[in-house]
A and B are shown apart, each in its own frame.
Chain A
């Protein structure tokens, strides 16, 4: 594995992860459907997980891979809470379009 990393170069992994992360960021900023926004947040987190694993191999150090487990568990908890909030919004508004959420202004 270390050998493959030497041939490809760590920079390319960083570029790939930055691109994936940016796709996630733009998804959060531009999409209006709450489920797709959640997916975009997951893309952001998973781009980072991929980079953690790449760095972990690059440094020959297992800590990075262990961190990925933490961040996966946290992401799962986060999305569970987000979906619960979304369900209660759907019960009140019958819609999951986040443009409908504009009661609070000032």
Chain B
């Protein structure tokens, strides 16, 4: 609970530091503050308690997910100093919005009441609309912001309608009470319509297939640092929240609902991977790869009761690999007009360390052993087989093979092609961020027992 207070206070302090003309220190200060928040969050591990009349419920699920969100936010925010070097006068705004977004993310996984869930999702989305459009002189960034805003608020409206119908059926917003009522009494039809509307809204937010069309455009147009936030942090926040909503409200999903989730999952993986094969822009390719990974993560929903730790492991492995990959992409395309793959030609000879980091991150996303991505996929596939859904596992294995195709396209460009133009020396901060993210990923892969039973 203190996590939320610290993070919100930190965001306000960021804005105050600008008044005191302390712009150089904002990023280190925020990173230290977030480390404190991380310590406070981890200290709550094992606690099971509701705060403020059950508005916020702290349990192992919320602590585990909040910790990984804070780690990702630290890694992403520490790159802002160099990324926003041309607009350094406004650095406090960029950092403060990211911190507020983190507050929304933490509220989304630790809600105990649907109103807190709604506020969390809106704080997260509104911050992301601003960040997507934050390069305001660039038409592409404007377009990305506008598209994200229109589809995001459309999805928010649908989510709000879903919440309203659930409230109408139950007469309360409290998740625990709703869960109790949903397993006992005869329910009005509105309740199920409400669940369906909530599902549609959340599938919009996680960019799963029938509702994925905004993701590639928005990811391509947004500034690269925002894209890395959206494809790592925002994606796993939405997945974790969706999981928490479903477990909180109707623990026993009907078979029909599971088949719907299963088809969405298979469609997301297939379409995401096949579309990613023909992309030339790295951001767009990673957007389609994110759609495919959302499909994999939906497999964890097939047997809801005991898949929380599998889902956490996969989300953490994917997000850490994503941050490592994006740190290298940010460095390579620092002064480039676009993020096309030819920018990476010959990168392996010039900067072997960074090229190795990017290779490691991509191998983890493809699910090659030693990296956490492999064990995450392994756990998820085992889980789906145990739940009795062999079809989805077969589809997922075939898709993993397809996905190697486009990840290796980038790796081959780095190691086998000749460079177009001389690349400047890498900025140390990007190397550090990529190395930390990949080391965490590797540690999770080598010692899965440390984090396997967190939840």
Name A's B-contacting residues (CB within 8 A).
10, 14, 21, 24-25, 28, 34, 37, 41, 44-45, 47-48, 51-52, 55, 58-59, 61, 63-64, 66-67, 70-71, 74, 77-78, 81-82, 84-86, 88-89, 92-93, 98, 101-106
Contact = CB atoms under 8 A, between A and B. Distances in A.
B137 A92 contact: yes
Interface of B: 115, 118-119, 122, 126, 129-130, 133, 136-137, 139-140, 142-147, 149-150, 153-154, 156-157, 160-161, 163-165, 167-168, 171-173, 190, 216-217, 220-221, 279, 281, 284
Contacts of B145: 85
Contact of B164 (A51, A82, A105): A51
B221 A104 contact: yes
A81 B149 contact: yes
B221 A103 contact: yes
Contact of B142 (A21, A74, A85, A105): A85
B5 to A, nearest CB: 19
B172 A92 contact: no
A67 B146 contact: no
A58 B190 CA distance: 14
A43 to B, nearest CB: 9
A105 B137 CA distance: 20
B173 A77 contact: no
B331 to A, nearest CB: 23
Contact of B168 (A21, A55, A104): A55
B362 to A, nearest CB: 21
A14 B161 CA distance: 11
B157 A48 contact: yes
Given A52-B164, A58-B168, A85-B146, A93 B129 contact: no
A21 B307 CA distance: 36
B220 A104 contact: yes
Contact of B157 (A41, A52, A89, A105): A41
A63 B164 CA distance: 11
A21 B280 CA distance: 40
Contacts of B115: 63, 66-67, 70
B129 A63 contact: no
Kindly list the 3 A-B residue pairs having the minimum CB-CB distance in the complex, ordered from nearest.
A44-B157, A59-B171, A104-B217
Nearest to A78: B153
B119 A70 contact: yes
A78 B168 contact: no
A28 B157 CA distance: 11
16 contacts: A21-B157, A28-B150, A61-B172, A63-B167, A70-B115, A70-B119, A71-B160, A74-B126, A78-B153, A81-B130, A89-B142, A93-B139, A101-B142, A104-B143, A104-B144, A104-B221
Given A41-B150, A104-B216, A106-B220, 16 more contacts: A14-B190, A21-B157, A24-B157, A51-B168, A52-B164, A64-B167, A66-B115, A70-B115, A71-B160, A74-B156, A92-B142, A101-B143, A104-B144, A104-B220, A104-B221, A106-B216
Contacts of B168: 10, 14, 51, 55, 58-59
B150 A103 contact: no
B140 A82 contact: no
B154 A28 contact: yes
A47 B165 CA distance: 12
Contacts of B119: 70, 74
Given A37-B150, A74-B119, A48 B161 contact: yes
B150 A98 contact: yes
Contacts of B122: 74, 77-78
